[in-house]
Amino acid sequence: MLMNKTTPYPRVCAHRGLPVLHPENSLASFGAAVAAGTQEIEFDLRPWEGGLIICHDPPREGTRYPAFEEVLAAFGNRVIMNIHIKPPGSGRDYDRAVFQSIVDAIDRYGCRESVYFTGAAAVMEAALALAPGIERCCQAGNKDGTIVANALKYRAQKLQFFVPHINPEMIDEARGHAIRCNVFFADDPDDARELFRMGADTVLTNNCVEILQALRMKSNL
């Protein structure tokens, strides 16, 4: 069992699984990433037609998407899940009933200790109000330099920087507040090694096989 609060850092997070081998956000893609040994997988979660689906872009009628519960059933507690909850729209509160259904699904599979929520301000607000015991990863302000301030505002345990909107001083500031630092993203091993050198706790990647190798070589940096 991989638990979010106790699995050692630094980590590799497989962004939408292993899309260099299988379609992104698919069960096959997640399975390949887990088989490769990644500590985390990341996926995009949306409400759709009364359920919860894994899909990055707005869903299309007639297309089959993996259900959230399928992912929980297949990989719950086998890997840490970075659940990127897609917001409902700019300037709107996140639907509290929808968010509660996400939490209820996690609880049905006993996965609270191996998941965390990532999202913008509306998602952070809903997560803090409805599931304060599940860790939050703040994306609000990831392009304008206010991400650390927003992480503190929403009492987030993690934040997710975006390359190139990152520097060592920003990581140091976050770490000074005991906030863990995800970085999106690095597909090249040299880029990943540089992010780990800077102090990144978790690097997101579309190429987890090679980036895992870079992490295993970190002791030689």
CATH of the domain at 148: 3.20.20.190
- H or E segment to which residue 185 belongs: none
**180 in a structural domain:** yes
The CA-atom distances, in angstroms, between 89 and each of 8, 202, 204, 213 are 35, 27, 24, 38
**3 in a structural domain:** no
**5 in a structural domain:** no
Smallest Cα–Cα separation from 92: which of 68, 120, 112? 120
**154 in a structural domain:** yes
Cis ω for the linkage preceding 8 (within 30 of 0)? no
Report the distance separating Cα 137 and Cα 157, nearest Å. 6
Number of domains in the chain: 1
Alpha helix (H) ranges present in the chain? Answer: 27-36, 68-75, 96-108, 121-130, 147-153, 168-176, 189-198, 208-216
Place of tokens 């899940």: 81
Token pair in block for residue 24? 């992104």
Q: pLDDT value at position 146?
A: 98
**1 in a structural domain:** no
Tell me the average confidence (pLDDT) per consecutive run of 10 residues in the chain, 221 residues long: 95 98 98 98 95 95 96 98 82 83 98 97 95 98 97 98 97 98 98 97 98 80 45
Q: Which amino acid is at 79?
A: V
3-state secondary structure of 1: coil
Kindly report the number of other CB atoms within 10 A of residue 149's CB atom: 13
Q: Which amino acid is at 76?
A: G
**170 in a structural domain:** yes
Let me know: does 126 contact 93? Beta carbons within 8 Å: yes
Report the distance separating Cα 5 and Cα 84, nearest Å. 18
**89 in a structural domain:** yes
Domain coverage including residue 207: 11-216
Smallest Cα–Cα separation from 179: which of 196, 197, 154, 204? 154
Report the distance separating Cα 7 and Cα 1, nearest Å. 9
Q: pLDDT value at position 93?
A: 76
Which residues, in sequence order, are CB contacts of 190 under 8 Å at separation 6+? 214
**2 in a structural domain:** no
